[in-house]
Structure formats: structure tokens, C-alpha cells
């Protein structure tokens, strides 16, 4: 019966090609515009580490007190703690070591001096981290690995470099054990990463704004970086009226915040325990007189923290809404056109009903026709989406455009939305069409 | 105009009428809000930086030792000044649209109680005030004696020049000249007001803070080195900048040229607003697609109605109605439906804006967008219905005499 309805649908669509094309165009346009915007949105708000994001958390401690307002929460009126840690608290948390894995993080921008005469210095971008950073974030390695906990405490001069830097300096060879000159100090290469450039750069959005260019090129032990005076390349935020004195000593003693911090927690009880631990820590600080306010901590998981930091530009959200509006306009449009088309065929329905077709059969016939239109619209939508993504690549800055690409899930969704939209659009006209009184319809003709 | 018969005919097609009206309403809501978003974006793109963008460029060096800063400044200043066409070279910490802001929260009292916002401090060496081309609207220009050594990130106690926008924010309604403010201990006194001076990353603290900038005359030194402001005539600037970038390799082999930051201010501006322009482009595309779909929908349904009513049209023609009467009938019909849609759409547009305002940092939709959106849709409706209406007008009266 289905093939018969399919044949009927094709025949009816062929009878009024203009209207058919119009309906498919409407669906296609709506689907394409909303999907294109959605692909951009998905690209920039995408989860860079979906298999683990629910286990990663960012602790925030209020070391500034209720008089200070800071961070993105400042606008909402709620009193939020700063979105990074000062040196004292970051080190205390590292020392207590209560999470499964943890690392304080700060951005550095040293200069690499390649060996050999006449080679110009290479400015690089990277982070000072702890050894647990690498297993925590599943950093992929081409050669070697991250460093050991002992390297952290010894301040060993080891370094993890990116695949790109390895090609630049060592010609892409296995460079494990070789030395690299960073700001005039020698570091021993202990690991070479595979190309790794998570977007957003979720482990340090406060410093990077979420989207960096080529990805981090170097990772060095945080204590070693500080000891050698490798300057902080990220944001330093100080409470009102505080200005750290020059150099690292000043920064380390101040309560200015400049360290990102990320931890991995296994399960819900562990999260609960860690929250408890943070509160106990803040209360202990209160007892020794460092804080004269009660604990005000946050422990957001990674996604919640990215949201809190407004990493995804607002206008992307708004464009998505606009695109959804367009999809809605197209749907309403299609409902109108289908209504017109189906109602014109009251005579045909009357004949079929008089010959014994049930309402169900009429429903089946017309929904099939609607679905055919949907599939047509979907295919058209696919082509237009492909075109749309191409256009996006031309108009968006490369760093954002690279994230917006067609993927199989998007393709499937496009077709599904098209068919669902058109069947939905066909539902009301079909309902009207099936209610036609056969006798009345036959009589008037 | 024959409104009554049109209305009674529409009553027979309630659902279809309602659908078109709804489509128009949705289109109106989306159109108004999307246009508003675009207008906001365009407004941001067109902000006035207050400096002579066409005549300025920046050179940024990194990777040198702090102790070499003084020597580097001397070498770069004298080296670049010899480039033909170079009008001036001075030390500065940042340029508008170049990023790397020097932000600090200021208070208008020494005790640090009266918070007056987070502002950007431009530190500029001798010559930079004039080179920037800032327009002084009150007070005096900096003298040689006003330039002081940088202690932390700015001089500790200095005369400063503020933008008009900041002056109005910090000291509303009073003469800002001579007013003081603090960043913790460091203390500043306003010596002049400039018409405009945008931040290095305008827009980062919200649209109202774009020009919250302070110019502090500062003496180049170890803590204040590496970024240079070049000025040349706008015709000669591209060549002078190219020459300067080449010359730097010889002048300062110990430093690394930051090529993305070493650009003309005009191209820094271009890059800075790239995303805004792209977003405006996407929104324009969405609007165009939506208007097209709406028009297609009207064409489709109107064509269907014309076909359905061929006999009635024929009868009217036979009874003496002119082609013009038929044409105006369909136009009136469209006008009525679209009007209904627009009324609904204006309410919807306003509601949508309220929702957007609640969730995102968006200003209120100015009311004049609503009638403009309405006019556009009226025009679109009339244009879309013209084809089917002309076809209706072409129906010959003889149709009335045919059965079925």
C-alpha cells in the first residue's frame, strides 16, 4: 500500500510542479539556515573533551571577601568568588592533593632559541602545569610522555613540546632527551604531543578567552617556570586597591589571582567530599585570620564553568534563535501551501471515501505525500547547508570557521528535521482533508 | 475601497488567512530583532577611536631582556626615525584595536571607597600624544615636564588626560580638570580631556565602557619598552611600516617582532572587528532567506486562491468589474492579511526582544524599528501578490459562462 501511496504522491506532485518546488524550497531554506547557524554554534560551544568533561571541575575560592566583586558574575549581582586562584591558595590545594588528579595552570610566552647559527628566535605560547595535567586531560603523545610528580617537586628542567614546534626545531625527529633553549635556559624534551589544540581551550579560559590560535606549543613544570622567572602571559586580576610589587615574589605574596586550576573527581561522593574539603579549607583560613568572612566557594564542572565564563559569544546564541525563527517561518509557510494543495483535492478524497477508503487510509496517503515533500526539502536543505557552511568559512574568521564543519550527525539531523517538519506541516491539512464528507463533496461536483 | 467583501471572503479561508498572518508576524518579529542586532554590531564597528588611524601603525617587540629595555628604546627610536616619510616614532604601551590593555579599577577617593570603574591606561612616551592626533577639548596638552618614569605599570603620581566619556562617567556634570583618582596608592590628576580615546580592545567591558581610557605621559625605560607608535602620512604609511619591519631585524636582532601586532592601526581595526562583521553578514543572510521564503509563501497561496476563484472572477468581470477592480481586490486582500500579521508581529517582536534582553546583554529594541519592519513587510506582501493578482486580472469574463 505504501508504494501505491508513494506513486500517488509523485503523481500529485508532478501535477503542480511550481507549488511542489515552492514547498521544498521553503523547507530547504529553513533547514539550511538553522542548521548552518547551528553548526557554528555547536562548533564554538562544543565540548572539547566529551568523554571526560563531567569529571573535570574548577574550584573557586573567595580569597577577596564580600566587598570585592569580580568575574562574569559581577553583572548578575550574586557574589561570586574570583574565577582564578592566587598563588597561596593554589599551592595549598596542590599540597593537600585531595582530587584524583589536579594541576595549577598559568600561561607563559617564552622564546625558543633553536640551535645553529642564523636561526631566528621563535616566540612560543604554552603553560606552566603539574605532571598530573597530562593524564587528567588525556593529552595525546607522539613520543615520550608527561613528567613525574618528582620532577614537579625537584623543579626539573623538562619540557613537553607540540608536534609543530618539534618539526620547527628538530625537523620532526624523535627529540626525546634532546635539549631546547627556552629564554636562555636549557630544558630536556620529555614528551612530544600529537597535534592537540582543544577549542575552546577549556583548561585556561580565563587567560586565553577560550579560543587560541595554533594551540599550546610548550608545557613546562610550573615550579620550574616560576623559579626561572618565566613571565606570566595571562591575566592577573587584583582586588581593588592592591598592586603587587614587581617580579614573582610580589605576585606570589599578593592575593591577586593568576592561576587557573583544574581537578578530576571520580564520582558524586568524591565531588561532595571535595566541596566539603574546600569549605573546611576556607574555614581554616578564617580561623587563622586570613579571611574574615565565611566560606564562599564554588566547584563548577567544566561545562558549567565555560558557561559561567561566557566562553561562547552571546551573538552566536542570538543568531541561533534568529535561525530557529526562520525555520518556524518556513514551517508555517509550508503548512499554508500544503493546506492549499490538499484542500484542492477534496473531490479526489470524496471519490476515494465513497469507494470505501477509511479515514486512516486518507491520512496515510496524505502523510506519505507530506513525507515525500519533506525528503525533497531535506535533500535541498542538505545542499543548501553545504553551501551555507562554505559561505560561513568565507565570512567568519578562520579560528571560528574551522570549528563549523559539516559532520554526519549534522547531516542526519538535517534530514530528520526536514521530514519531521514537513510531516508536522502536513498533519493539519491532512486532518482537514480526511474530514471531507464524501456525499457532500460528490454532490457539489 | 471594497474592504467589506474582501473580509467576508477571507472569513471563508480562516485557516489559510491565519497561517499567512502568522508567517508575517513571525517574519516581522525576526526581522525587527535581527535588524536591531545588525545595527548594534554596525554601531560597534563604527566606533570612533579618537586617533588618526590612517596615519598610525604599531611595532611590537618581545623576547628581549628587561634590562636591555632602555637601550632597545634608544636604538629603535633613532633607527626607525631615519626611514623616509616617517613623521614620528614614539614609545607607547598599546594602540586602539591592538589588544593588550592595561586595565585597572580606579577610585575617586584616596581611601579606595568610591569605585569608578575599570579603565585602561595608555602610557605614552614623549611625542606620542601629538602623534596619536588626540583632539583636546579641555585643559592643555602635555609638556615635556609631565613625562615621568613608569614605576609599576604607570607612573606613581602623574598628570593624566582622560576621554570625555570617562570624564562624564566619573565626574558627571562637573569640570573634570584638576579632579583626582587613585589605583590603590598611585595617584592621578586630570590635566586635560580629549574628545575620544577608545580602549585597546574596545567593547570588552560592555558598550558603555568603550572609551574609558586614560593617557598617562610616561618616560620610556626598562619597564616601558618594546611597543612603538609610528606616524606617517596615510599614503606613505604602508611603505614606511614595511620598511620599519625590515629595519627592525637589523636594529634589534635580540628582540622578536610580533608580526600580528605590528600592523597599521587601520588594519588592526579591520582584524579586531572581523567577527562582528561576519556575524552581521550571517544575520543579513538569514534575513534575506526569510524574506524570500515569506514572499514565496505569499505567491504560492495567492496563486492557489486565484486559481480557485477563476469562476467568481469571471462572473465579476462579466458583471462589469474592470481589470483594475480585480487587481485591487487581491491587493487589498493581501494588505489586510499582512496588516493583521504586522500588528501581531510587532507585539511578538517586542516580546522576543524582552526575552533576549533577559538572557543576553542586549539593549531595548527602539520602537521605531516596529513601523519600519511593518513597512518592509507591506511592501514585500504587495510585491509578492502582484504576479498572482495580475494573473487574476487577466481572467477573461467568458470564464463565467463555462461550467466547471
Question: Is residue A41 domain-shared with residue A67, that is, in the same domain?
Answer: no
Sorted by sequence, the CB contacts under 8 Å of residue A172 that are 6+ apart come out as A166
Cell of B224: 616601558
Q: Flag if B297 and A319 touch (Cβ within 8 Å).
A: no
- Phi first, then psi: give them for residue A139, nearest 5 degrees: -65, 125
At residue A72 the predicted structure's pLDDT band, cuts being 50, 70 and 90, is very low
Do A235 and A152 reside in the same domain of the chain? yes
Whether the per-residue pLDDT at A209 is higher than 60: the answer is: no
- Contacts for A181 with CB less than 8 Å, ≥ 6 apart: A112, A113, A114, A115, A187
Residue A329 three-state SS: helix
Q: Is the pLDDT of residue A73 over 50?
A: no
Give contacts of A 338-357 with B, CB under 8 A: 339-341, 344
Tell me which of B399 and B366 has the higher pLDDT: B366
Dihedrals phi, psi of A101, to nearest 5 degrees: -135, 150
Mutation choice for B interface testing from A322, A402, A425, A428 by most B CBs within 10 A: A322
How many contacts does A have with B, using Cβ atoms within 8 A? 158
pLDDT at A347 over 80: no
**Residue B139, beta-bridge partner list:** B192
Number of domains chain A is built from? 2
Task: Say if residue A82 is in the same domain as residue A23.
Answer: no
| Strand-pair partners of A262 | A103
Residue in chain A closest to B281 (alpha carbons) equals A395
**Residue A434 · residue A363 · CB < 8 Å:** yes
Mean pLDDT of A271-280: 93
Q: Which helix (H) or strand (E) holds A52?
A: none
Distances (CA, A) of B99 to B12, B40, B204, B262: 63, 21, 10, 11
Model confidence at B190, in pLDDT bands (50, 70, 90)? very high
In a domain, A293, yes or no: no
A67: Cβ–Cβ under 8 A, 6 or more apart, which residues?
none
> A337 or A317: whose pLDDT is higher?
A337
Of the listed ranges A405-409, A428-432, B78-82, the one predicted with least confidence: A405-409
Query: Quick check: is A55 in a domain?
Result: no
Out of A23, A339, A445, name the one closest to residue B16 (CB). Answer: A339
Distance CA B308, CA A17 (A): 17
- B contacts of A26 (beta carbons < 8 Å): 293, 296-297
Its domain, for residue A376, covers: 2-47+313-444
Residue A362: closest CA among A438, A430, A275: A430
Please tell me which of A69-73, B28-32, B214-218 the model is most confident about, judged by mean pLDDT. B214-218
pLDDT number for residue B336:
92
Instruction: Give the other-Cβ count within 10 Å of A245's Cβ.
Output: 10
Any domain includes A21? yes
- The answer, yes or no, to whether the previous bond of A195 is cis (omega within 30 of 0) is no
Candidate from A19, A332, A388 with C-beta closest to B19? A332
CA B116 to chain centre: 25
CB contact under 8 A, A123 and B281: no
Whether A331 contacts chain B with CB within 8 A: no
Q: Residue A14: helix, strand or coil by DSSP?
A: helix
Instruction: Please say whether the dihedral angle defined by the alpha carbons of residues B279, B280, B281 and B283, taken in this order, is positive or negative.
Output: positive
Sign of the Cα pseudo-torsion (A430, A435, A437, A438, in order): positive
Check CB contact of A40 with chain B, cutoff 8 Å.
yes
What integer pLDDT is reported at residue A77 of this predicted model?
Answer: 47
Angle between helices A17-45 and A314-343 (to 10 degrees): 160
pLDDT beyond 80 at A437: no
Specify which of A218-227, A333-342, B205-214 reaches the highest per-range mean pLDDT. Answer: A218-227
Q: Grid coordinates in use for B170?
A: 566619573
Q: Look at A322 and B299 and tell me if their CB atoms are within 8 Å.
A: no
Is A443 or B167 the better-scoring residue by pLDDT? B167
Residues A244 and A382 in one domain: no
At residue A444, the pLDDT reads: 59
Last residue of a domain, one of A243, A264, A285: A264
Q: Residues A17, A70: one domain?
A: no
Cα A193 to chain centroid, rounded: 22
Q: Does B292 touch chain A (CB under 8 A)?
A: yes
Q: Quick one: angle between helices A359-395 and B274-308, nearest 10?
A: 150
Residues A43 and A94 in one domain: no
Q: How far apart are CA A1 and CA B182, in angstroms?
A: 83
pLDDT at B16 over 90: no
Residues of B in contact with A111 (CB under 8 A): 62-63, 256
A198 & A174 share domain: yes
Evaluate whether residue A308 is within a structural domain: no
Q: Which helix (H) or strand (E) holds A80?
A: none
CB B165 within 8 A of CB B212: yes
* Cross-strand pairs, A101: A264
The distance between the two most distant Cα atoms of chain B, rounded to a whole number of Å, is 102
CB distance B90 to B128 below 8 Å? yes
* Whole-number Å distance between alpha carbons of A363 and A230: 73
Assigned domain for A285 exists: no
The answer to whether position A192 is within a domain reads yes
Helix (H, G, I), strand (E, B) or coil at A402: coil
A322 φ, ψ to 5°?
A: -60, -45
Q: How much is the pLDDT for A241? A: 67
The pLDDT of residue A76 is above 50: no
Q: B267: pLDDT confidence band, cut at 50, 70 and 90?
A: very high
Average pLDDT of chain B is: 87
Percent of chain B whose predicted confidence (pLDDT) is above 70: 98
What integer is the mean pLDDT of B191-210?
A: 83
Residue B241: pLDDT above 50? yes
Which cell is A356 given?
470505501
User: Taking a C-beta distance cutoff of 8 angstroms, is the pair A121, A113 a contact?
Assistant: yes
How many other C-beta atoms lie within 10 A of the C-beta of residue A51? 8
Instruction: Note whether A246 and A370 are same-domain residues.
Output: no
- Examine the domain organization and report whether A217 and A352 are in the same domain: no
Q: Does B166 touch chain A (CB under 8 A)?
A: no
Residues B108-133, mean pLDDT to the nearest whole number: 86
Nearest beta carbon to residue A336 from set B23, B184, B289: B23
Q: How does DSSP assign B131-190, residue by residue?
A: HHT--EEEE-PPPGGG-EE-SSSS-SEEEEEEEHHHHHHHSTTS--TT-EEESSS-EEEE
Taking an 8 Å cut-off on Cβ atoms, the answer to whether A329 and B63 are in contact is no
Answer whether A243 sits within 8 Å of B359, measured CB to CB: no
Instruction: Specify whether A356 is located in the same domain as A232.
Output: no
Burial of A138 (0-12, 13-18, 19+ CB in 10 A): exposed
Q: How far apart are CA A286 and CA B321, in angstroms?
A: 91
Closest CA to B229 of B91, B55, B102, B53: B91
Asked if residue A292 is part of any domain, the answer here is no
Alpha helices in A56-198 (DSSP H): 87-96, 133-136, 149-154, 163-170
Q: Outline where DSSP puts E strands in B3-77.
A: 56-62
Contacts of A313 in chain B (CB under 8 A): 275
A277 confidence band (pLDDT: 50, 70, 90):
very high
**C-alpha closest to that of B387 among B315, B331, B310:** B331
pLDDT greater than 70 at residue B273: yes
Contact A9, A24 (CB under 8 A): no
What's the rounded Cα separation, in Å, for the pair A26 and A19? 10
Mutation for testing the B interface, residue in A77, A122, A241 having most B CBs under 10 Å: A241
Give a yes or no: residue A303 inside a domain: no
Contact across the interface for A333 and B296, Cβ inside 8 Å: yes
Averaged pLDDT for residues A52-79 = 72
Yes or no, beta carbons of A332 and B26 under 8 Å apart: yes
Q: What ranges in A257-313 are assigned the alpha helix state H?
A: 268-287, 302-308
What's the start-to-end Cα distance of chain B, in Å?
Answer: 30
Contact assessment for residue A366 and residue A434, using Cβ atoms and an 8 Å cutoff:
yes
Tell me how many helices (H) and strands (E) chain A has: 17, 12
Q: Is A392 on the interface with B (CB under 8 A)?
A: yes
**A262 — contact with chain B (CB < 8 Å)?**
no
**Domain limit, last residue, from A264, A282, A305:** A264
Smallest Cα distance from B258 to chain A, Å: 8
Do A171 and A22 share a structural domain?
no
- Looking at the fold, whether A340 and A256 belong to one and the same domain comes out as no
**Prediction pTM value:** 0.70
Q: Residue B122: in which H helix or E strand, if any?
A: strand B115-124
Of A206, A234, A264, the position where a domain reaches its end is: A264
Q: Which three cell numbers stand for residue B198?
A: 577608545
Cβ of B293 within 8 Å of Cβ of A333? The answer is yes
Q: Spell out which residues of chain A touch residue B223, defining contact as CB-CB under 8 Å.
A: 246
pLDDT digits (tens, 9 = 90+) for A34-51: 777 777 666 655 567 777
Contact list in A for residue B308 (CB cut-off 8 A) is 344
Sign of the CA dihedral with A201 first, then A204, A205, and A207 last: negative
* pLDDT value of position A208: 63
The least confident of A39-53, A75-89, B188-202, B277-291 is A39-53
Q: For A333-344, how does the pLDDT look when each residue is reduced to its tens digit (9 = 90+)?
A: 887 788 777 777
How confident is the model at residue A70, as a pLDDT? Answer: 52
C-alpha–C-alpha distance, residues A398 and A408, integer Å: 22
**Complex ipTM > 0.90:** no
Angstroms from A338 CA to nearest CA on chain B:
9
Amino acid at each position: 500500500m505504501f508504494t501505491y501511496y508513494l506513486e500517488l504522491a509523485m503523481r500529485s506532485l508532478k501535477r503542480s510542479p511550481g507549488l511542489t518546488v515552492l514547498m521544498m524550497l521553503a523547507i530547504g531554506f529553513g533547514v539550511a539556515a538553522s542548521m548552518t547557524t547551528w553548526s557554528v554554534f555547536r562548533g564554538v560551544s562544543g565540548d572539547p573533551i566529551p568523554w571526560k568533561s563531567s569529571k573535570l571541575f574548577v574550584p573557586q575560592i573567595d580569597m577577596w571577601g564580600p566587598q570585592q566583586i569580580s568575574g562574569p558574575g559581577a553583572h548578575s549581582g550574586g557574589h561570586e568568588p574570583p574565577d582564578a586562584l592566587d598563588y597561596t591558595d593554589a599551592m595549598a590545594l596542590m599540597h593537600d592533593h585531595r582530587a584524583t588528579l589536579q594541576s595549577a595552570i598559568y600561561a607563559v610566552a617564552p622564546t625558543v632559541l633553536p640551535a645553529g647559527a642564523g636561526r631566528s628566535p621563535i616566540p612560543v605560547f604554552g603553560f606552566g602545569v603539574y605532571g598530573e595535567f597530562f593524564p587528567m586531560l588525556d593529552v595525546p603523545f607522539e613520543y615520550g610522555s608527561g613528567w613525574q610528580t618528582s620532577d614537579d617537586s625537584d623543579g626539573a628542567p623538562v619540557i613537553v613540546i607540540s608536534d609543530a614546534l618539534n618539526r620547527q626545531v628538530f625537523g620532526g625527529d624523535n627529540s626525546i632527551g634532546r635539549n631546547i633553549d627556552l629564554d636562555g635556559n636549557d630544558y630536556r624534551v620529555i614528551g612530544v604531543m600529537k597535534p592537540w589544540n582543544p577549542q575552546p581551550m577549556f583548561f585556561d579560559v580565563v587567560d586565553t578567552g577560550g579560543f587560541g590560535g595554533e594551540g599550546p606549543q610548550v608545557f613546562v613544570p610550573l615550579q620550574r617556570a616560576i623559579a626561572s622567572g618565566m613571565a606570566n602571559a595571562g591575566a592577573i586580576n587584583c582586588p581593588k586597591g592592591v598592586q603587587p610589587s614587581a617580579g614573582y615574589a610580589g605576585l606570589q605574596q599578593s592575593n591577586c589571582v593568576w592561576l587557573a586550576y583544574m581537578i578530576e573527581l571520580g564520582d558524586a561522593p568524591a565531588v561532595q567530599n571535595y566541596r566539603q574539603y574546600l569549605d573546611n579549607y576556607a574555614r581554616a583560613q578564617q580561623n587563622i585570620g586570613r579571611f574574615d568572612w565565611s566560606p564562599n566557594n564554588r566547584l563548577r564542572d567544566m561545562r558549567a564553568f565555560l558557561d559561567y565564563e561566557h566562553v561562547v559569544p552571546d551573538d552566536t546564541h542570538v543568531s541561533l534563535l534568529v535561525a530557529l525563527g526562520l525555520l518556524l517561518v518556513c514551517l508555517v509557510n509550508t503548512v499554508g501551501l500544503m493546506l492549499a494543495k490538499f484542500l484542492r483535492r477534496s473531490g479526489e478524497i470524496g471519490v476515494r471515501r465513497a469507494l470505501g477508503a477509511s479515514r486512516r487510509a486518507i491520512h496515510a496517503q496524505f502523510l506519505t505525500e507530506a513525507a515525500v515533500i519533506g525528503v525533497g526539502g531535506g535533500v535541498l536543505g542538505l545542499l543548501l547547508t553545504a553551501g551555507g557552511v562554505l559561505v560561513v568559512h568565507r565570512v567568519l574568521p578562520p579560528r571560528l570557521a574551522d570549528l563549523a564543519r559539516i559532520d554526519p550527525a549534522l547531516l542526519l539531523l538535517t534530514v530528520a528535521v526536514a521530514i519531521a517538519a514537513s510531516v508536522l506541516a502536513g498533519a493539519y491539512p491532512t486532518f482537514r482533508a480526511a474530514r471531507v464528507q464524501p456525499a457532500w463533496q460528490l454532490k457539489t461536483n | 475601497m471594497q474592504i467589506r467583501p474582501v473580509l467576508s471572503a477571507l472569513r471563508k479561508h480562516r485557516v489559510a488567512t491565519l497561517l499567512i498572518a502568522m508567517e508575517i508576524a513571525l517574519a516581522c518579529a525576526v526581522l525587527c530583532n535581527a535588524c536591531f542586532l545588525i545595527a548594534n554590531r554596525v554601531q560597534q564597528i563604527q566606533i570612533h577611536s579618537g586617533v588618526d588611524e590612517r596615519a598610525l601603525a604599531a611595532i611590537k617587540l618581545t623576547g628581549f631582556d628587561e634590562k636591555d629595555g632602555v637601550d632597545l628604546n634608544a636604538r629603535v627610536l633613532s633607527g626607525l626615525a631615519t626611514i623616509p616619510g616617517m613623521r614620528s616614532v614614539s614609545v607607547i604601551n598599546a594602540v586602539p584595536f591592538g589588544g593588550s590593555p592595561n586595565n585597572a579599577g580606579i577610585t575617586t577617593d584616596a581611601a579606595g571607597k568610591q569605585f569608578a570603574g575599570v579603565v585602561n591606561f595608555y602610557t605614552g612616551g614623549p611625542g606620542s600624544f601629538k602623534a596619536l592626533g588626540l583632539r583636546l577639548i579641555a585643559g592643555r596638552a602635555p609638556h615635556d615636564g609631565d613625562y615621568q618614569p613608569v614605576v609599576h605599570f604607570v607612573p606613581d603620581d602623574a598628570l593624566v588626560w582622560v576621554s570625555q566619556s570617562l570624564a562624564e562617567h566619573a565626574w558627571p556634570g562637573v569640570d573634570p580638570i584638576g579632579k583626582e583618582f587613585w589605583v590603590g596608592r598611585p595617584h592621578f590628576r586630570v590635566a586635560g580631556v580629549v574628545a575620544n580615546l577608545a580602549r585597546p580592545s574596545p567593547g570588552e567591558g560592555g558598550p558603555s565602557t568603550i572609551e574609558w581610557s586614560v593617557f598617562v605621559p610616561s618616560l620610556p625605560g626598562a619597564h616601558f619598552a618594546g611597543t612603538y607608535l609610528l606616524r606617517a602620512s596615510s599614503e606613505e604609511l604602508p611603505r614606511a611600516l614595511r620598511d620599519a619591519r625590515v629595519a627592525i631585524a637589523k636594529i634589534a636582532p635580540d628582540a622578536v617582532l610580533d608580526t600580528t601586532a605590528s600592523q597599521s592601526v587601520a588594519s588592526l581595526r579591520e582584524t579586531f572587528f572581523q567577527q562582528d562583521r561576519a556575524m552581521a553578514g550571517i544575520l543579513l543572510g538569514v534575513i534575506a532567506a526569510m524574506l524570500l521564503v515569506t514572499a514565496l509563501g505569499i505567491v504560492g497561496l495567492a496563486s492557489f486562491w486565484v486559481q480557485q476563484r477563476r469562476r467568481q472572477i469571471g462572473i465579476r468581470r462579466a458583471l462589469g468589474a474592470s481589470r483594475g477592480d480585480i487587481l485591487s481586490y487581491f491587493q487589498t486582500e493581501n494588505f489586510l492579511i499582512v496588516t493583521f500579521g504586522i500588528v501581531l508581529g510587532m507585539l511578538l517582536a517586542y516580546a522576543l526582544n524582552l526575552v533576549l534582553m533577559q538572557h543576553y546583554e542586549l539593549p531595548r529594541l527602539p520602537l521605531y524599528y516596529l513601523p519600519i519592519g511593518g513597512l518592509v513587510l507591506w511592501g514585500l506582501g504587495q510585491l509578492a501578490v502582484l504576479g498572482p493578482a495580475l494573473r487574476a486580472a487577466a481572467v477573461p469574463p467568458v470564464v463565467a459562462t463555462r461550467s466547471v
